[in-house]
Structure 1
């Protein structure tokens, strides 16, 4: 039966008990009924949560994880890491892109993500030649998500320049080269895949890589309901370059020149002044925060406390995939603020004083908005995406409802996600993905080929 009985379930209004959750053959929730009697022949669970949205992913970088942690001859930074990433991306094939994406999405599902926004900029063949099919690599990412059973918002990237002032692309960037018409062509080519589990938006890579007139044209050419994402103000050097070229800081410049609204996600937005915090929060756009990657690359800390005070919306993503766990992203989002302010329990709001509940619910809302899909809550009409936590684990033994997410996010490193339903399909049961072994074998082969090709 397409139903589940949850002794405890996290609904939009908070924790409810004895909840019957129902979905249809299309993978949409049709009913969520608290205070119910358990139906006959329906599976039961102790603790059920909506699946988390991963609002920022570069899937191919999963195969690079852990391989850039050796110090160079001089100071290492985001920019030295980027050079290593470019070299890694130079030879990757469409088949390898698909294999790596499928492996990543299996790992994300096992840890509690049920939707991913894929910021996809590997569009061309090694050397920069166009593929015969304009959406060749994008379709490979979509195929990896379909095999894994992951909900996907695919964002082909506009990437035309190496820096402010329309600097020509460097040799390592030729695989990323696109113009506005090409990106819109990829979006159009992906149209047959659109449905409950798939949406196609677009992403100007950054103010460095796309001119403001291009960004304006892309926003105008993309259907209004589709998501638009952009990297912005991730590094101090980017802020300095933007000031030198435009006389304005990146977020201020974008807000001045473009009608930024709710379909926008500004990824990182790490380095903001107070006026930018206020304008970003007031725009209704989502701040896309990736704490594990931002820490790994030495980016800095987002000004979360004043942003929340201004009513800002946020979500989290795994970006370069040094972690595939929403628990780790949310934990370090809060811990980074504690270290910065030397206080505790910072991510709260209104009447919600439970940090875990606030973080999970807020990230669900922001992630769903950024994905442009009907996800992020256990309510009729949304996608049937949910997590069943392991109620037998000692961390959840005898807990009150108000303690569940605090234990889940801030207690130990065991993965408490037992089962995952995504789009109405059980893709993870007992901690194992339905196609885990076959997908892992193809991933191992792809990584082996990449390593042999680099020697």
Structure 2
């Protein structure tokens, strides 16, 4: 078949905005040509607005979408992440495979309609409600693979290794029994999932849940086993999300979490340090220099009262970062960018903090950084509009009231991120060269969201 193509008057390439860009891709959805200052060939589709790269979502717990909005009341004298977690465990204890697949399908459709084109699924509900393995040990992982395939969402599947409830090997709680796997059992699961992921075009990695949930020996053995299976596989870990976690790590080891990790694990560009909110300046600089990606989830971090990531220190060391929707209190790629920039403005009392010398427009700068960091964390070729990358694209609606008649594509993208409803200005979303969202609407929108609603209703009926 001949390469497929799209012509854009304005397109955001990894090097910045370009005029009159002809994008071509092959049958596998990989970009084979990017030609600027081109003439639109006869018969080639013209984008109706500026084209920007699709956003990778580098951190998702799909099932948590089902209890969005249900934890927004004070249930303790001082609510925190830890009180929120007890409510989350109730949903994790009750969910069935069918409900997980329905929730994930609906969520992935929501993500696509909000500008995400791939997702890293940090998957830790493995077993039945009694903590027993299913007859097919990959049952719940397969639910996520099917959901992504049905929605047309790119996927990096990250089965979670979870063994203890606290530093020093504290036994897991009853609420964690669906999460627990031995290291050998996890490596066997990865062996089983690898060909299944490859057949779908998904990527497989590993997520040691956190330092409090994975003892040092298990972490070392799991990483060795993963890298024997695939030396390029991504590794994601929750780290330094909460001050209580930092204090507990200090009490256990005499070191802060990121400090301990850097001195005891081979952290490099394969790693994504999810949250990394509470780092000292020295930790931040050392971690950034490893090439690891900081996985930032501004809406969840705000929702849980986690704290504010120190972006200036991270960027001074040329640190890489991307965004994720985590607990899905918000499902919107542009909203995560806006919240990240606003948190930095509040912390520094400055504006346009995440702009750069190369890209003074903050929306453009953030989009390029988040796409590059998200692609690295995904370990998939989704790093933007360049040859060899997947044709994942978002077309902005040039006729949106807040974008119409603006003089530059930078201004249009800025209006999308900071002045629209951050989803209303999306005209099309393409994944691997196929349109998944047209006029802001996914073809499965009604059916997928109805399935999510039904699963949520069932969970509410069966959760204390």
State the alpha-carbon separation in 1 of the partners of residues 184 and 403 from structure 2. Answer: 52
Equivalent of 1:89 in 87, 92, 117: 92
CA distance in 2, matches of 1:199, 1:155: 9
Equivalent position of 2:36 in the other structure = 34
Q: Cα RMSD between the aligned structures?
A: 1.2
Deviation at 1:195, TM superposition (A): 5.2
Partner of 1:75: 78
Q: Equivalent residues in 2 for 1:136-175 (5 A)?
A: 136-175=139-178
Contiguous gaps of at least 5 residues in structure 2: none
1:185: Cα distance to partner? Answer: 1.8
For 2:348 and 2:16, locate their aligned partners in 1 and report how far apart those are by CA, in whole Å: 29
**1: CA distance, partners of 2:429 / 2:192:** 30
- Residue 391 of structure 1 corresponds to which residue in structure 2? 398
- Residue 268 of structure 1 contacts residue 287 of structure 1 at CA under 8 Å; is this kept in 2? yes
- Report matched runs for 1:114-133 at 5 Å: 114-133=117-136
Please state whether the residue corresponding to 1:276 is helix, strand or coil: helix
Cα shift at 1:332: 0.8
Alpha-carbon shift at residue 197 of structure 1 (Å): 3.4
Inter-partner Cα distance in structure 2 for 1:392 and 1:229: 40
User: How far, CA to CA, are the matches of 2:199 and 2:53 in structure 1?
Assistant: 20
Indicate whether 1:405 and 2:408 are aligned. no
Matched residue, 2:219: 215
TM-superposition CA deviations, 1:330-378 (whole Å, max 9, x none): 1011100111111111112233211111100000110000000000211
Call closer, same or farther: CA 1:350–1:180 in 2, change over 3 Å.
farther
**Offset, 1:412:** 2.9
Aligned residues: 455
Deviation digits for residues 175-203 of structure 1, max 9, x if unmatched?
00012222222222212221573101000
- Greater CA drift, 173-182 or 445-454: 445-454
| Correspondence 1:345 to 2:348 | no
Please report the TM-score for the alignment, with normalisation by the length of structure 1: 0.98
Aligned counterpart, 1:58 = 61
Alignment deviations for residues 26-56 of structure 1 (CA, whole Å, 9 cap, x no partner): 1111211111111112211121011001000
Q: Does 1:17 align with 2:19?
A: yes
Q: Supply the distance in 2 between the matched residues of 1:29 and 1:276 (Cα, whole angstroms).
A: 38
Cα distance in 1 for residues equivalent to 2:199 and 2:134? 25
* In 1, Cα distance between equivalents of 2:231 and 2:34: 30
Alignment match, 2:287: 280
**Shift in Å, 1:81:** 0.1
What do residues 53-111 of structure 1 show as CA deviations (whole Å, max 9, x unaligned)?
A: 10000000001100100111411000000000001111100111110001110000001
Equivalent runs, 1:36-435 vs 2, <5 Å: 36-45=38-47, 46-192=49-195, 193-194=197-198, 197-222=201-226, 223-399=230-406, 400-415=408-423, 416-435=425-444
Q: Give distance in 2, aligned partners of 1:120 and 1:130.
A: 15
After TM superposition, the structure 1 stretch with the greater mean CA deviation from structure 2, 337-346 or 156-165, is 337-346
- Structure 1 stretch 40-49 or stretch 112-121: which is displaced more? 40-49
CA gap 1:196/1:254 in 2 versus in 1, 3 angstroms: same
Structure 1 runs of 4+ with >3 Å offset:
none
Name the SS of the counterpart of 1:388 in structure 2.
strand
Q: Deviations over 1:275-322 (max 9, x none)?
A: 101111111000000000000000000110111011111000000001
- Of 249-258 and 423-432, the range deviating more from structure 2: 423-432
- 2: distance between equivalents of 1:298 and 1:275? 24
User: Could you tell which deviates more after superposition, 174-183 or 119-128?
Assistant: 174-183
Alpha-carbon contact 2:21-2:38 (below 8 Å) kept: yes
**Aligned partner (choices 443, 447, 452) of residue 456 of structure 2:** 447
Q: Deviations over 1:371-422 (max 9, x none)?
A: 0000021111111110111111122222213323222211131521111111
> 1:13 and 1:73, CA in 2 relative to 1: closer, same or farther beyond 3 A?
closer
More displaced 10-residue stretch of structure 1: 395-404 or 162-171: 395-404
1:441: Cα distance to partner? Answer: 2.2
